[in-house]
Amino acid sequence: MEQEQGFIDYIEQSIIKNWDRNALTDYKGVTLQYKDVARKIAKFHIVLESAGIQPGDKIAVCGRNSAHWAVAFLATVTYGAVIVPILHEFKADNIHNIVNHSEAKLLFVGDRAWENLNEEAMPLLMGIVLLTDFTPVVCRNEQLMEAFEHRNVLYGARFPKNFRPEHISYRKEESPEELAVINYTSGTTGYSKGVMLPYRSLESNVAYCHEMLPVRPGDHIVSMLPLGHVFGMVYDFLYGFSAGAHLYFLTRMPSPKIIAQSFSEIKPRVISCVPLIVEKIIKKDILPRIDNKIGKLLLRMPIVNDRIKADMRKKAMEAFGNNFDEIIIGGAPFNADVERFLKQISFPYTIAYGMTECGPIICSSRWETLKPASCGKAATRMEVKIASPDPQNVAGEIICKGANLMLGYYKNAEATSQIIDINGWLHTGDLATMDAEGYVTVRGRSKNMLLTASGQNIYPEEIESKLNNMPYVSESLILLQKDKLVALIYPDFDDAFAHGLEQSDVEKIMEDNRNELNLQLPAYSQITKVKIHFEEFEKTAKKSIKRFMYQEAKG
C-alpha cells in the first residue's frame, strides 16, 4: 500500500474491497462483516449529524476490546470527529478527568466501566452510550435522544434501496496535520497526558505495518492488547482492518491457557503482545514440557542438539497457533534469557520499540534480521539518534523525529516543550546504544537509572532480567535504598506451594538466589538485601511495573 493515500482512504477502501468478508468478532460471541461495520457507521453518522456534532468535536470511548469498541472508533474518525480512547483499567477519577480535560461531547462506555463512573462528574457530556448495544444511558440533548431512538427509520429513509459499497464516501482529513486521536498515556509516573496524534502519524504507522507484515484479506488477527493503548490500536486493529483481515477480540489480557485454546482455533497470521505473555508461556508451558525437572535452567544453557532445537521450536510455534509469520513484542523490556532461548531455537519474534508520542513505532526490524537484545533500526519515515559522544559504546538518550511524531500534549504546552526540543527532536527518556549498522539496544529508562555514591550508573532492568529467571521468582524490582541495592521480589508462591515448600523455604531460596546472582554481577552492583513482596506489582496497561509506587518499600 502506498503512503500517498490518506488514513481514511485505508479504511474506506478496505470496507469496499472486503464487503462480504468477516471483519470483527468478539471471541465466542458476535461477528460483524465489513458491510455490517459500514452500515453501523452510517447509522452512527446520522446520529452525530442530527445531534449537531461537528468534525473536530471530541468523542471518548472506554471499555474492554470488542467489535463495538472498534465500530465506535471507526465511526468517529470517518465522520471527522476526534477520538479519545480511554483505557478501561484507569480509575474512575482519572476517566472523569480525561473526559472533562478532552472536552468530549459523547462517551461510549463498556457496561463494566460504566458501573464505576458518575455522570455528575462529567458535566460537559451531551450523552453517555453503552457499547454493548449502543443504548444511551445518559442524554442531555433532545436531538441526540431523538436521533438514537429513530436512527433505524432515518437510516431507512436515507438508504431506501439498501446500503451498498457505492454509498461509502467518508470525510477525508483536510491535512495530514489534522488531529485524529487524543490518547492519554498510562505512564509509570502516575498521571495521564493527552497525546495528540495527527492523521499523518496514523497513516505512517499503518503504512509501516503494511511494509513489514504479510497480512492478506481474510487472514486472522487476535486483538488482545488493550485497544485504548496505541500499540494494540495500531498493530492489531487499524492495520488488521485496513488489510481486510478478520479480527478476533479477546476481552482481557489472556492467560497462557486461554491463548493456547483461542490461538489453536483462530490461527492468527501475526501476533502483537507484551513480553509478559511470551515469558509466561515459555516459562510455564514450553520449558516444563521439555524437561520438568530443570525448567527455567534451560534458559541459561546452550542448546547444541539440532533435534532438540527443532522440538522446542515446534512446541513454541504450536503454543501460538502455528500459523503466524512473526510475533511482535513491545511495550516493556523483554527478558534477556528468554530472548536468547528464542533466538537459539529460531523462533520468529521481533521487538517493536516505540511510545504513545510516536503513535507508537520508533524502531523495529523483521525477525530474520533482528540482532539479539536489539529493538531493530529506525522505522521508515523516522530518524533516530543517540545523544552520546560515543553511541556505539556509551549509552545516551534516544531522540527521534519524523512522520510518526505527535503534535504535542493536549492543552499542555509546557509538557510538550519538555519532551520536544526547538529542533523538533522528541526526547524519549530511554537510554540506548546504537551499532554501526543502526541497530538500537535499549539499556533502560533514564529516570530508572540508579546512580550510586561511587558514581556508577546501574540499569535496574538488566539485573531484574537475570533475577526473574531464578527459581520461584515471579517478578522483581531493584531499588537503591541508603546507597545499597535492594531486591524487592514477588515470589511465585503458587509454584512453590505446589512443590511442597513453605514460606520460610521460599525466603531461604530468595536469599540463595541473591547469592547466586551476585556471582554474576560486578562488585558495584551487588544486591545487599532481599525483601519479599506478597502481591503482584501494580502495572500500567503495557504491563510495565509502576516503579514510583515501590521506591520506599519496607521489609
CATH number at residue 467: 3.30.300.30
Does the residue 380 lie in any domain?
Answer: no
Alpha-carbon span 74 to 107, nearest angstrom: 14
Does the residue 356 lie in any domain?
Answer: no
pLDDT tens sequence across 146-158: 999 999 999 999 9
- Grid cell in block for residue 165: 459499497
pLDDT on residue 509:
95
Closest C-alpha among 229, 184, 243 to residue 11: 243
pLDDT on residue 4:
60
Does the residue 220 lie in any domain?
Answer: no
Alpha-carbon span 184 to 86, nearest angstrom: 7
Query: Residue 406, SS3?
Result: coil
Sheet holding 58-62, edge to edge: 136-139, 127-130, 104-109, 58-62, 82-86, 179-184, 194-198, 408-409
Q: How many domains does the chain have?
A: 2
For residue 408, which phi and psi values (nearest 5 degrees)?
145, -175
pLDDT tens sequence across 217-259: 999 999 988 899 999 999 999 999 999 999 999 876 677 778 8
pLDDT on residue 1:
39
Q: Which helix (H) or strand (E) holds 475?
A: strand 473-481
Does the residue 509 lie in any domain?
Answer: yes
Alpha-carbon span 347 to 427, nearest angstrom: 32
Alpha-carbon span 26 to 379, nearest angstrom: 32
Closest C-alpha among 106, 107, 38, 24 to residue 68: 24
pLDDT on residue 550:
85
Q: What SS3 string covers 305-340?
A: CHHHHHHHHHHHHHHCCCCCCEEEEECCCCCHHHHH
Q: Which helix (H) or strand (E) holds 32?
A: strand 31-33
Domain end among 151, 181, 197: 197
Does the residue 133 lie in any domain?
Answer: yes
Give the strand pairing for 440-445 and 426-434: antiparallel
Domain end among 176, 197, 218: 197
Does the residue 176 lie in any domain?
Answer: yes
Residue 505's domain comprises 450-549
Residues 6+ positions from 52 with CB-CB distance below 8 Å:
141, 143
How many Cβ atoms from other residues are within 10 Å of residue 201's Cβ?
A: 30
Residues 6+ positions from 421 with CB-CB distance below 8 Å:
399, 427
pLDDT on residue 336:
83
**Average pLDDT by stretches of 10, the chain with 555 residues:** 74 98 95 98 96 97 97 98 93 92 97 95 97 94 91 93 94 96 73 91 97 96 92 96 97 75 93 88 78 61 79 90 94 83 92 95 95 94 97 95 98 94 95 96 81 74 89 93 91 92 94 93 88 90 79 68
How many Cβ atoms from other residues are within 10 Å of residue 3's Cβ?
A: 15
Q: How many CA atoms lie within 13 A of 314 on its CB side?
A: 8
Given a contact cutoff of 8 angstroms between Cβ atoms, the answer to whether 523 and 454 are in contact is no
For residue 232, which phi and psi values (nearest 5 degrees)?
-65, -40
Does the residue 267 lie in any domain?
Answer: no
In the chain, the amino acid numbered 134 is F
Domain end among 166, 197, 228: 197
Does the residue 132 lie in any domain?
Answer: yes
Given a contact cutoff of 8 angstroms between Cβ atoms, the answer to whether 270 and 328 are in contact is yes
> Would you say the pTM of this structure is higher than 0.85?
yes
Alpha-carbon span 127 to 106, nearest angstrom: 5
Closest C-alpha among 55, 194, 69 to residue 130: 69
Alpha-carbon span 154 to 283, nearest angstrom: 55
